[in-house]
């Protein structure tokens, strides 16, 4: 159920102020320490940012897709690591439970995820199974009233701080969707260990690492929905929603980059005038703004279709492909407008240039989006 206009406006205003007054001033410190201050985490919890997409029945805000992407566009205007901390709880770390969990699983985990007391993590990618998720090797073998998990997951967002892992594992050997199941595995379960935190090109403060299962025994009640074979289909549904979320994040980041580029261009003078008066600089600003408008329109249109109950697999892939590529181009132009200054860390565009590169890779690479778009388009016109 959608929020009334006044309530949504108040929420967006509160998030916008939080980003401007608290998160943006903390960006430099985050870039150097790689840690989000505890007082900021507490404020994120108070604002309800961990439970945007979780029903009020479980303590969340219960936003629909359009409302969620509008909030995320605001969060996108600061370092992506802040959004990443709450992002798994909003999306891939909770939505498998929302979509397919048993009543007991929902009651046990969703309130804690919504409050931010528990950080969720989505463990799908493996060393030899990234884009080709069907090739995952992590196994789950039934042993009485337990399952025994063995395998390694790689580049798992928020794994170092997660309290709950949604783990995709093979419960049958055949290469088909029905061979993959999802398990809810709590941190601290014997047999579950974490690798060293990854050192990344960008997104300092967004933590990832390997997750290793070595004869990790979990009760049968950990099987999502109490049913084998539904994990892959659930994962794909979760990723459809997640792709719209990431697309909205790119829209917000592009807006921040354009704003920073325009500010610099109007203040920086060359040949006795602001460089914003140079037509080739104006062309870069114009191209960036036009692409931002196109991406924002796409995301809002797809979100509204999803809220109407339509299948948005095609639209979500189109948004993910266009918005992530768009923000990369905008970041590149922002650096170019800054000139040499854009290559030093004194200016935020240097950091964002590195940060946004990841958007074209996770939750489905650009190449995977192209395959999805082609498949769905051929299906639609055949």
If we measure between CA atoms, which residue out of 64, 116, 122 comes closest to residue 91? Answer: 122
Residue 164's nearest CA partner among 143, 189, 141, 181 is: 189
The 8-class DSSP code of residue 129 comes to B
Surface-to-core class of residue 5, CB atoms within 10 Å of its CB (0-12 exposed, 13-18 middle, 19+ buried): exposed
What lies within 8 Å, CB to CB, of 358 at 6+ separation is 80, 200, 201, 202, 203
Give the position of tokens 């946004």.
356
Query: Which residues fall within 8 angstroms of residue 156, CB to CB, at 6 or more apart?
Result: 121, 122, 123, 125, 162, 165, 208, 209, 210, 211
C-alpha dist (Å) from residue 379 to 64, 128, 132, 235, 284: 28, 29, 21, 21, 37
Tell me the DSSP string of 193-218.
EE-PPPP-SS-TT--EEEEEEEEEEE
Residue in 308, 322, 311, 327 with CA at minimum distance from that of residue 241? 311
Helical spans, DSSP H, in 62-162: 65-75, 80-90, 95-100, 103-115
Instruction: Return the structure tokens found at 116.
Output: 């931010």
> Is position 74 annotated as part of the catalytic site?
no
Q: Cβ atoms within 10 A of the Cβ of 61, count?
A: 22
* Residue 227 CB partners (closer than 8 Å, separation 6+): 181
Residue of 228, 267, 363, 376 marked catalytic? 363
What are the CA-CA distances from residue 112 to residues 30, 37, 38, 120 (Å)? 25, 20, 17, 10
Please report, in angstroms and rounded to a whole number, the separation of the first and last CA atoms in the chain: 35
Report the distance separating Cα 146 and Cα 4, nearest Å.
46
| Residues recognised as catalytic | 363
């Amino acid at each position: 159920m959608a929020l009334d206009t006044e309530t949504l406006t108040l929420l967006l205003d509160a998030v916008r102020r939080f980003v401007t007054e608290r998160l943006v001033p903390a960006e430099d410190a985050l870039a150097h320490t790689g840690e989000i201050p505890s007082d900021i985490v507490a404020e994120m919890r108070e604002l309800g940012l961990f439970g945007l997409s979780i029903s009020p029945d479980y303590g969340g805000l219960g936003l629909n897709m359009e409302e969620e992407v509008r909030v995320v566009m605001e969060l996108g205007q600061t370092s992506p690591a802040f959004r990443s901390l709450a992002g798994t709880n909003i999306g891939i770390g909770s939505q498998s439970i929302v979509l397919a969990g048993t009543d007991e699983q929902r009651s046990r985990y969703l309130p804690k995820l919504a409050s931010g007391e528990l950080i969720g993590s989505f463990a799908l990618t493996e060393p030899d199974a990234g884009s080709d998720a069907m090739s995952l090797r992590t196994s789950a073998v039934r042993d009485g009233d337990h399952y025994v998990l063995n395998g390694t997951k790689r580049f798992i967002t928020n794994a170092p701080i997660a309290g709950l892992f949604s783990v995709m594992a093979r419960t049958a050997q055949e290469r088909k969707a029905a061979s993959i199941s999802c398990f809810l595995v709590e941190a601290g379960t014997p047999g579950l260990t974490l690798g060293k935190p990854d050192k990344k090109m960008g997104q300092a403060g967004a933590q990832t690492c390997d997750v290793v299962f070595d004869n990790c025994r979990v009760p049968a009640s950990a099987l999502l929905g109490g049913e084998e074979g539904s994990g892959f289909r659930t994962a794909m549904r979760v990723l459809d929603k997640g792709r719209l979320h990431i697309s909205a994040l790119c829209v917000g980041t592009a807006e921040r980059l354009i704003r920073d580029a325009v500010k610099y261009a109007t203040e920086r003078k060359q040949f006795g005038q602001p460089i914003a008066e140079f037509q080739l600089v104006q062309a870069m600003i114009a191209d960036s703004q036009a692409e931002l408008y196109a991406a924002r329109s796409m995301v809002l249109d797809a979100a509204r279709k999803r809220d109407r109950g339509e299948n948005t697999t095609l639209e979500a892939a189109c948004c993910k492909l266009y918005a992530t590529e768009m923000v990369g181009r905008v970041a590149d132009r922002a650096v170019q407008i800054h000139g040499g200054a854009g290559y030093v860390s004194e200016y935020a565009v240097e950091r964002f240039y590195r940060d946004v590169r990841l958007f074209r890779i996770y939750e489905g690479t650009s190449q995977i989006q192209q395959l999805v778009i082609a498949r769905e388009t051929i299906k639609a016109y055949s």
